[in-house]
Amino acid sequence: MKIRTKMMLWYTLLTTVLLFIFIPILYNAISDSLYSEAESSLESIVSQAEIGIEYENNAVSWDENIDISEETPTVIYNMNENKIYENGVWDLSNNLEFQAGTLRRSILNGEKWIVLDENIQKEGITVAQIRVYYSLDSVNKTLGRIKLIIVFAVPFYFIITVLGGLLIAKTALDPISKVTKTAKSIGRVDLSSRINGNKSRDEVGELIDTFNEMLERLEESFNKEKRFTSDASHELRTPVSIIMAYTETLLKEIETERSADETRKSIEVIDKESKRMNTIISQLLTLTRGYEGRYKFVKETFDLSEVIENVMDELTEIAESAHIELAYKNNGAVLIDADQSLVTQLMLNFIENAIKYGKEFGHVWVSNVQREDETIIIIEDDGIGIEEEQQKHIFERFFRADQARDRRGTGLGLSIAKWIVEEHGGKIEVSSVLGEGTTFEIRFPRNI
């Protein structure tokens, strides 16, 4: 059953139940008040009659100046059963026995009446008997009219409730159907559709916004993945093409006379390109394992300062051949609790980059700072620098700045670095001036 039908049914059921509870309550209240009005008007006639009866020297008479409304027929007898006042057509002679102090409903001449009998007392003795009649005709007519209204109004009300319920449910749920339609129309590949229309700040508006935001994120990550796959294929295709070209030439020329020197050169190229492919593939593996949360961290406490020194030792030769001076300002042991092999890889990436993107006879300065709540490693160089516009992209997979294209790289090093630092709860800050140099600051929260 659709929600709109359910909503309508519940709504109708609820209002109908309420109707069946309140209609009898209301009807009884109206009828009670009409009856008590009739009774109190009878009592007021009795009080009026008490004033009209004169009692003097044991004789009872009626003050002719006082008259009682014809609408309430009244008869008064003295104690000798002589009629001293009569108004209207009714009297004690009808077969209703006189019962002082009683209020009765009775059918007289085919009509409904309320009859009130009372003794009238003067100076402490009963001097007369009064009977007053009140016709229930108008009360019954009013109550009948109300019943008629109820009988006609209830089905009408019922129809309006059902239609109104359906309309409310439709108005409330139509935007949701729209969301469903759009969601269905979004293909597996094209995530660019958005739901538009409802700009209101209600629950549906919120749902649409959330849905659109989700689509935005999906589209973004889908595009990123697309770019990643095409970049990865592109990066791998270049070394593969070179290897293929060289092996083909080698095979063709294997018969011909060829110097050992030339053959070695070709094999060296093949070796270099295979290594490059190997690097790309293993970096890709690290990244995908990291993103999929499949990387097994081995955390231990070690001195980061020592790791930096080892990495710098390892890179001395490369730095020397590029005529770059490496300097480490060691401010003492820096104990951290982290995955040592990943952190070693991290420092290697940054310091290697600083050398790779350095200028001849340049410098790389590494230092550490211990703060109360964080450990900062600073890697500064006076190399080629990064254009401001490109700085925000350097952590993206396969991104390489224009001015770095002539130097060998995969564009994956900083993505891996970012992942490693973030996995350890830290962050990386970069500041750079094109042509002057770059500074990276790696901040780890202190957990030791």
Least CB distance to ligand ADP at residue 417 (A) = 7
Tokens of 312: 């710098």
What is the spatial distance between Cα 262 and Cα 25, in angstroms, rounded to a whole number? Answer: 110
Secondary structure (H, E, C), 361-428: CCEEEEEEEECCCEEEEEEEECCCCCCHHHHCCCCCCCCCCHHHCCCCCCCCHHHHHHHHHHHCCCEE
Least CB distance to ligand ADP at residue 354 (A) = 5
Cβ nearer to ligand ADP, comparing 68 with 315:
315
Cβ nearer to ligand ADP, comparing 204 with 412:
412
What is the spatial distance between Cα 441 and Cα 443, in angstroms, rounded to a whole number? Answer: 6
Cβ nearer to ligand ADP, comparing 172 with 318:
318
Per-residue buried b or exposed e for 272-283, using 16+ beta carbons within 10 Å of the residue's own CB = ebeebbebbeeb
Least CB distance to ligand ADP at residue 359 (A) = 10
Least CB distance to ligand ADP at residue 317 (A) = 19
Binding residues vs ligand ADP (CB under 6 A): 349, 353-354, 357, 381, 383-386, 394, 399-401, 404, 409-415, 438
DSSP-derived 3-state class of residue 283: helix
Cβ nearer to ligand ADP, comparing 169 with 414:
414
Least CB distance to ligand ADP at residue 398 (A) = 8
Cβ nearer to ligand ADP, comparing 411 with 426:
411
Q: Closest residue to ligand ADP, Cβ-based?
A: 409
Least CB distance to ligand ADP at residue 411 (A) = 4
Least CB distance to ligand ADP at residue 338 (A) = 20
Secondary structure (H, E, C), 87-150: ECCCCCCCCCCCCCCCEEEEEECCEEEEEEEEEEEECCEEEEEEEEEEECHHHHHHHHHHHHHH
What is the spatial distance between Cα 427 and Cα 441, in angstroms, rounded to a whole number? Answer: 8
Least CB distance to ligand ADP at residue 356 (A) = 6
What is the spatial distance between Cα 427 and Cα 442, in angstroms, rounded to a whole number? Answer: 6
Look at the block and give the residue holding tokens 């110097």. Answer: 259
Cβ nearer to ligand ADP, comparing 90 with 350:
350
- C-alpha of 181 from chain center: 20
Least CB distance to ligand ADP at residue 297 (A) = 22
What is the spatial distance between Cα 232 and Cα 410, in angstroms, rounded to a whole number? Answer: 10
Cβ nearer to ligand ADP, comparing 169 with 404:
404
Tokens of 14: 């609820």
The residues near 261 (Cβ < 8 Å, ≥ 6 apart) are: none
Cβ nearer to ligand ADP, comparing 68 with 386:
386
Cβ nearer to ligand ADP, comparing 308 with 386:
386
